[in-house]
Amino acid sequence: RKEVEQDPGPFNVPEGATVAFNCTYSNSASQSFFWYRQDCRKEPKLLMSVYSSGNEDGRFTAQLNRASQYISLLIRDSKLSDSATYLCVACENSGYSTLTFGKGTMLLVSP
């Protein structure tokens, strides 16, 4: 069974904090990985892709460990607007982009 597992949280952090989310995937054939963000009752939106070499986009850093089948997202200097659910996503890339989503990790940033 192809699954992506995440800690559901919620993670409650103060503004300015650094927070890290982890996720594991079971399908060793997965080739592409993403973090999506979903606000309450909204559609998921791509936050960033995840590469083996690790990648950074402003306050966000994503890492991939293929050997452990483990993905992480680090958010530095948290903002109130970062409050959302973060979805870990794996894609087998078997010729098309069917995505396997984790259930998401909720982040609540407080003043």
Which is closer to another protein, CB of 83 or CB of 102? Answer: 102
- Return the HEC string of 93-106: CCCCCCEEECCCEE
Cα gap 5→22, rounded to integer Å: 9
Which residue in 13, 17, 99, 108 binds another protein (CB under 8 A)?
Answer: 99
Alpha helices, DSSP H, located in 29-93: none
Question: Applying CB under 8 A, does 108 fall inside the site for another protein?
Answer: no
Which is closer to another protein, CB of 72 or CB of 100? Answer: 100
- Shortest CB 93 distance to another protein, Å: 5
